[in-house]
């Protein structure tokens, strides 16, 4: 095989692409990964999951030091924010983790080709190298893992100064006096929480009647109330129609859905968080005839193959939730398939987590979805106010809600709001993956004292009574 011939060429090194490349190489396939940037890891490691979680963690400690430490008997006189150091800590996490992917590439003998990839047709990828020049790679299999990019509203340009995307919100050099967040999805609420904790006034404008669209209705309502209690201003039923910027700040105009009047808010920084769009610029999809849907997502079949043989796509660039773990699992499944093994992703059981405080986590169906489908179900709920560990830690906000089939008791959905919900949801995911009933969870021994006992008690509440309530 010549240097330019590969079994697999992956375009994009986000969690979809780099994980697919590693698994392909582990499976003995000669693999290259084309990535525009010198650092690997894509949106997730560079400007997404990792830096946002670094700032969420540190801002949470900072806020806790002011509001919670005294109750624990810890005095915090002279507490100060060093934003530069906080940002440096975030950058360190990114550098270490992207460096970790580079190490894994070397270990698995994956060639990282730095440049922009485009597809010439089945079996051929051209790369405009970042350092100049180009290369043409022969590839038995091509995997498109080019991810997604920020999106804006019509007529509103993200200028990176007054109007920022999540990427800009991760690198602000001072705490804004007033930040308006457009969009009450996960990204808007996470980044809004960071700056709220660091001292900004934060106003969220959300078009729908509650934050976190797609999540369980009860969770959305009670979580919205919790954020308001923290001081986040949330205006629902507010459709943003324009933003004007000046040297001094910005004015955001929105229409209220209820009475269709236009109102405006002055602020220092606007965070545009109305979602992301699949990124396929310059890939050559049209020329090759690769089908995309009305949302610009690459259309794939069950095995992630596009309508062009030998060309596959995974991650944010195809349908499904734009989540790192979904992209990773698709990467593993596809790389196994390409090696003649059996790869599989159960798209019905993909957890989603919002890393605010408290966290919100969910897997499976919401009550609204089940009602619409006409499925009869039972609900069991257990509040953290009755969980001993949560009480000890003074983190009693939230609850666990389990929804099970009324006839079979099979768990159909689990929804949680709570300080440790992001970790706790794993149990529910595993239970659902194994087709567990609520009774199975209730009969499973859970360690005491842990937050996870709330899952067991919610499961008991589906068909009987919980003990501690």
- Whichever of 205 and 290 has its CB closer to ligand AMP, that residue is 205
Please tell me which residue in 415, 448, 451, 468 is annotated as part of the active site: 448
User: Which of the listed partners (ligand AMP, ligand FAD, none) does 145 bind, with a CB threshold of 5 to 8 Å by partner kind?
Assistant: ligand FAD
Q: What residues line the site for ligand AMP (CB under 6 A)?
A: 153, 182-187, 205-208, 213, 238-240, 273-275
- Cα–Cα distances in Å, from 406 out to 371, 377, 465? 12, 4, 16
Size of the site for ligand FAD (CB under 6 A): 37
Residue 12 CB, nearest distance to ligand FAD (Å)?
3
| Number of neighbours of residue 292 by Cβ within 10 angstroms | 17
- Strands across the sheet containing 238-245: 238-245, 250-256, 262-267
298 CB contacts (<8 Å, ≥6 apart)?
A: 144, 278, 280, 285, 290, 291, 292, 306, 313, 317, 318
Binding mask 186-225 for ligand FAD (x = CB under 6 A): -x--------------------------------------
- In whole angstroms, give the CA distance from residue 425 to residue 379: 17
Asked whether position 419 contacts ligand FAD by CB under 6 A, the answer is no
Runs of H (alpha helix) within 297-354: 324-338
Asked whether position 422 contacts ligand FAD by CB under 6 A, the answer is no
User: Which of the listed partners (ligand AMP, ligand FAD, none) does 323 bind, with a CB threshold of 5 to 8 Å by partner kind?
Assistant: ligand FAD
User: Which of the listed partners (ligand AMP, ligand FAD, none) does 153 bind, with a CB threshold of 5 to 8 Å by partner kind?
Assistant: ligand AMP
Cβ atoms of 462 and 404 closer than 8 Å: yes
183 CB contacts (<8 Å, ≥6 apart)?
A: 204, 205, 206, 207, 272, 273, 274, 275
In the residue annotation, 448 being an active-site residue is answered as yes
Residue 272 CB, nearest distance to ligand FAD (Å)?
12
Closest CA to 370 of 400, 413, 407: 413
User: Which of the listed partners (ligand AMP, ligand FAD, none) does 34 bind, with a CB threshold of 5 to 8 Å by partner kind?
Assistant: ligand FAD
Residue carrying structure tokens 């979580």: 223
Residue 163 CB, nearest distance to ligand AMP (Å)?
13
Residue 254 CB, nearest distance to ligand AMP (Å)?
6
Choice from 31, 148, 356, 387 touching ligand FAD (CB under 6 A): 148
From the number of C-beta atoms within 10 Å of its C-beta (0-12, 13-18, 19+), residue 3 rates as: exposed
User: Which of the listed partners (ligand AMP, ligand FAD, none) does 52 bind, with a CB threshold of 5 to 8 Å by partner kind?
Assistant: ligand FAD
Binding mask 98-137 for ligand FAD (x = CB under 6 A): ------------------xx--------------------
Question: Does the N-terminal peptide bond of residue 33 adopt cis geometry, omega within 30 degrees of 0?
Answer: no
Residue 119 CB, nearest distance to ligand AMP (Å)?
28
- Cα–Cα distances in Å, from 328 out to 44, 305, 325, 350? 11, 16, 5, 12
Residue 210 CB, nearest distance to ligand AMP (Å)?
9
Asked whether position 147 contacts ligand FAD by CB under 6 A, the answer is yes
- Whichever of 248 and 295 has its CB closer to ligand AMP, that residue is 295
Choice from 52, 200, 306, 387 touching ligand FAD (CB under 6 A): 52
Strands 134-144 and 5-11: parallel
According to DSSP, the residues that pair with 378 across neighbouring strands are: 404
Buried b (16+ CB within 10 A) or exposed e, 92-112: ebbeebbeebbebbeeeebbb
Asked whether position 283 contacts ligand FAD by CB under 6 A, the answer is yes
Task: Please choose, out of 33-41, 95-103, 385-393, 454-462, the segment that lies near ligand FAD by the rule CB under 6 A.
Answer: 33-41
Residue 294 CB, nearest distance to ligand AMP (Å)?
16
User: Torsion-angle region of residue 183: left (phi > 0), alpha (psi -120 to 50) or beta?
Assistant: left
Which segments within 187-232 are labelled E, that is strand?
201-206
Instruction: Find the angle CA(458)-CA(461)-CA(463) to the nearest 5 degrees.
Output: 130
Residue carrying structure tokens 């959300």: 206
Asked whether position 338 contacts ligand FAD by CB under 6 A, the answer is no
Choice from 8, 9, 12, 274 touching ligand FAD (CB under 6 A): 12
Residue 450 CB, nearest distance to ligand AMP (Å)?
30
Which segments within 246-314 are labelled E, that is strand?
250-256, 262-267, 269-272, 276-278, 311-313
- Whichever of 14 and 380 has its CB closer to ligand FAD, that residue is 14
Cβ atoms of 40 and 178 closer than 8 Å: no
User: Which residues in this chain contact ligand FAD in the complex, by CB under 6 A?
Assistant: 11-17, 34-37, 42-44, 48-49, 52, 116-117, 145-148, 166, 187, 279, 282-283, 315-317, 322-325, 327, 355
Q: Which residues are catalytic?
A: 448
């Amino acid at each position: 095989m010549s240097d330019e011939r590969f079994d697999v060429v992956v375009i994009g090194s986000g969690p979809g692409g780099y994980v697919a490349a590693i698994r392909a190489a582990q499976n003995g396939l000669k693999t290259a990964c084309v990535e525009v940037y010198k650092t690997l890891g894509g949106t997730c490691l560079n400007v997404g999951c990792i830096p946002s979680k670094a700032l969420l963690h540190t801002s949470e400690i900072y806020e806790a030091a002011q509001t919670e430490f005294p109750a624990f008997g810890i005095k915090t006189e002279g507490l100060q924010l060093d934003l530069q150091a906080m940002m440096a800590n975030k950058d360190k996490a990114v550098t270490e983790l992207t460096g970790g992917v580079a190490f894994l590439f070397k270990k698995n003998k994956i060639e990282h080709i730095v440049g922009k990839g485009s597809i010439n047709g089945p079996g051929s990828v051209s790369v405009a190298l970042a350092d100049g020049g180009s290369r043409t790679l022969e590839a038995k299999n091509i995997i498109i893992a080019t991810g997604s990019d920020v999106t804006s509203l019509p007529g509103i340009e993200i200028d990176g100064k007054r109007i920022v995307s999540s990427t800009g919100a991760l690198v602000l050099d001072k705490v804004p006096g007033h930040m308006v967040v457009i969009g009450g999805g996960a990204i808007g609420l996470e980044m809004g929480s960071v700056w709220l904790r660091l001292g900004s006034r934060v106003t969220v404008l959300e078009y729908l009647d509650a934050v976190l669209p797609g999540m369980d209705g009860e969770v959305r309502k009670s979580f919205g109330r919790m954020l308001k209690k923290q001081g986040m201003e949330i205006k629902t039923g507010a459709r943003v129609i324009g933003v004007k910027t000046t040297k001094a700040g910005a004015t955001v105009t929105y229409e209220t859905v209820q009475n269709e009047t236009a109102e405006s808010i002055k602020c220092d920084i606007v965070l545009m968080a109305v979602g992301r769009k699949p990124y396929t610029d310059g890939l050559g999809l049209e020329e090759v005839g690769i089908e995309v849907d009305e949302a610009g997502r690459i259309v794939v079949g069950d095995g992630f193959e596009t309508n062009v043989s030998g060309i596959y796509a995974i991650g944010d660039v195809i349908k499904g939730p734009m989540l790192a773990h979904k992209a990773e699992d698709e990467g593993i499944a596809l790389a196994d398939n390409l090696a003649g093994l059996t790869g599989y992703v159960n798209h019905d059981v993909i957890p989603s987590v919002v890393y605010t405080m408290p966290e919100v986590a969910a897997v499976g169906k919401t009550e609204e979805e089940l009602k619409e489908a006409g499925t009869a179900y039972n609900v069991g709920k257990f509040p953290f106010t009755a969980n001993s560990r949560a009480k000890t830690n003074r983190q009693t906000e939230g609850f666990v809600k389990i929804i099970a089939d009324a006839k079979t008791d099979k768990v159909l959905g689990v929804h949680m709001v709570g300080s440790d919900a992001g970790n706790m949801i794993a149990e529910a995911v595993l239970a659902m993956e194994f087709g567990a009933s609520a009774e199975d969870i209730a009969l499973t021994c859970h360690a005491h004292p842990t937050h996870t006992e709330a899952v067991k008690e919610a499961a008991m509440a589906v068909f009987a009574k919980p003990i501690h309530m």
